[in-house]
Chains A and B, each alone.
Chain A
Amino acid sequence: MEPQLSVSFAAPPSGSARLGGQKAPNPSGSDLSGQLHAEYVLRSRDLTVAYAVKGQPPLLAIDGLTLGVKENEFLVILGPGQCGKTTLLNCFAGLLKPNSGAVEFLGEKITGPGLERGLVFQNYALFPWLTVEDNIAFGLKSRKTPKPQRKALVQKFIDLVGLKGFEKAWPETLSGGMRQRTGLARAYAAGPTVLLMDEPFGALDAQTRYAMEKELLAIWEKEKRTVVLVTNNIEEAIFLGDRVALLTQRPGRLKAEWPVDLPRPRGYTDPAFLAFRREISERYDLAL
């Protein structure tokens, strides 16, 4: 039986509890100086989310999660499958309404999607009827950025993610890695303060995945943003994060948190890396 959403975000036609749009407090997106009066850019407080399933008690996906991310911090949320990672990101993105508790952006309650929070999807979610550059320009068109400026910005992010020469390509013709570059550029181009990434490399093979992780860090060093990335992969978490937050099995609760003090670039086989990996593995709930 199909589970029923208690809060509708998946249905394209009008849903029951759609959230209203939220204006971007900071249209330029990147520069937060002087505006950052809150300690955290993004934060969940006692966040609880449950899905209504027909004929069954509500399915608790996240249970009382308090977690914040600071400006330009790379936070990795690590957790086993089905533990509520996507649910959490959807709340941050404003696509899903918490049942209790709150999600806040710069100390203000999030009530809907906003261009200041960009989302990168596991399965890329590119628009198949648009070329790479038009996919990337999508958010800029929403912002009504004038055309010359738009073109320049699109080109900038195409160059940044290494898609030069693929501007006119159709998503279907691209490899997984290239598609995710497009997804990343699209998120970047909309000018977000925070980048939310939902297992962005989960669909890639191990080699491509590793290459893309390195690439992501290089991009992030050039264009610093606050990042919340979720993954179920311990190595990826250690390789990327400034901080790793580990969730329990469903319902997702915060199980442990570590700052990652290893200097970048980190090697998968460095002794410190391996020691860290062992420490996290010991706490990691397996979802069987």
Chain B
Amino acid sequence: MSVSLSQKTLDPAELRPLGSKDPSWGRLAAPNPLVRVIKGLLRAAYQEKLSIISLIVFFLLWEGVCYFKIIGPYQLAPPSKVLKLLIAKLATQNPDGAYLWAHALSSLGLALSGFGAATLFGVPLGLLMGWYPRLNHLVRPVFDLLRPIPPIAWIPLAIIWLGIGGVAKGFIIFLAAFVPGVINSFTGARLTNPVLVRVAKIHGASDFTAFWRIGVPSAAPMIFTGLRLSLNAAWTTLVAAELVAASQGLGFMIQMGRRLARPDIVIVGMLTIGLLGAFLSWILSKIERSFFAGRAS
């Protein structure tokens, strides 16, 4: 049998398995509507549509649970009420003593100052410990001793030392944010490619110059990882720190909501904490991205 090399287009029917008489072989299947809907739904599962669906279901269930009094009004407030309060709280100080944005600003100020101080001290300390083993041997034991103590456990001591003002709360947040800042900067500096250090030495760099020009930029990605974890820790500890004693702040607002038996206030406070936290992380990742812009990898 000779093989034809001409570029004859195959008739789809020829592709039918031997003996099969099914005429749909080789033709595009005309999908029936049900199959199309199911396929569409499946595809949505891979996209974000399903997440939206799940959110809607979640809020509907929540609303229903309250509407049918499955959970009482002193235990849970429906989303509709929460949303109403969220808007109202922008313009009213009642009943917890401050506008929502005032609570938010107070909390932000506290968290960011604790985070800022932790970054200011923690990152350089971590970098230097990563670069100079002697400093590491000096500081490490104390650091490792204090590290496993949860920041919240410091609250009583913080009150004894610093009173119940903002300083004590800032101190707790500082402790929480300090640890990841140090550890990640340390690791970043430690992992510096020794060959690059040699290049710097070849070019006449002293040990400290090499630290500054090689160690620090090498550690930059890890520094940012540390900042992210640090910010996270600061924001997470915030509520606990504001439980110490406060007259403002989102943690305080939640606490007031509990005392007033107003679950809607509690939930508005919780939601604000969540949203602001996500917003802060988003800003940090924006900064990170612009910092590494172009340095494609």
A residues apposed to B, CB below 8 Å: 9-14, 18, 21, 24, 93, 95, 113-115, 117-119, 121, 123, 125, 127-130, 138-139, 142-143, 170, 172-173, 190
Q: Say yes or no: A142 contacts B205, CB within 8 Å.
A: yes
B226 at the interface (CB under 8 A from A): no
Instruction: Annotate B163-191 by CB proximity to A: 1 below 8 A, 0 otherwise.
Output: 00000000000000000000000000110
C-alpha gap A14/B136 in the complex (Å): 12
Question: Which residues on B sit within 8 Å (CB–CB) of A130?
Answer: 217
- CA–CA, A114 and B202, complex, Å: 6
Contact (Cβ within 8 A) B199 A121: yes
Q: Please give, as numbers and ranges, the residues of chain A lying within 8 Å of B132 by CB-CB distance.
A: 13-14
CB-CB < 8 A to B189: which residues of A? 12
Give the B interface residue count (CB, 8 A).
Answer: 36
Convert B196-209 into 0s and 1s, putting 1 for each residue whose CB lies closer than 8 angstroms to a CB of A: 11111111111101
Chain B residues within 8 Å of A119, by CB: 198-199, 202
**For residue A129, which residues in chain B have a CB less than 8 angstroms away from its CB?**
217-218, 220, 295
> Which B residues are closer than 8 A to A by beta carbons?
130-134, 136, 189-190, 192-207, 209-210, 213-215, 217-218, 220, 294-297
Closest 7 pairs between A and B when the two form their complex, measured CB to CB: A139-B203, A12-B197, A129-B217, A142-B204, A10-B194, A142-B203, A125-B195
Residue contact A172 to B297, C-beta cutoff 8 Å: yes
Known: A127-B217, A129-B295, A170-B295. Contact between A12 and B202, CB under 8 A? Answer: no
Contacts beyond the supplied A13-B190, A127-B217, A128-B297: 12 A-B pairs with Cβ under 8 Å: A95-B201, A114-B204, A121-B199, A123-B195, A125-B193, A125-B199, A127-B196, A127-B214, A130-B217, A138-B200, A139-B203, A190-B203
Query: Hey, which chain A residues are within 8 Å of B202, CB to CB?
Result: 93, 95, 113, 117-119, 190
The CA of A125 and the CA of B203, in the complex, are separated in Å by 13
- Residues of A contacting B195 in the complex (Cβ-Cβ under 8 angstroms): 121, 123, 125
Smallest CB gap from B135: residue in A:
A13
Is the beta-carbon distance between B131 and A12 smaller than 8 angstroms?
yes
A-B contact list, 15 entries, CB within 8 Å: A9-B201, A10-B198, A12-B131, A12-B215, A14-B207, A117-B202, A118-B202, A119-B198, A127-B217, A138-B213, A170-B296, A172-B295, A173-B296, A190-B202, A190-B204
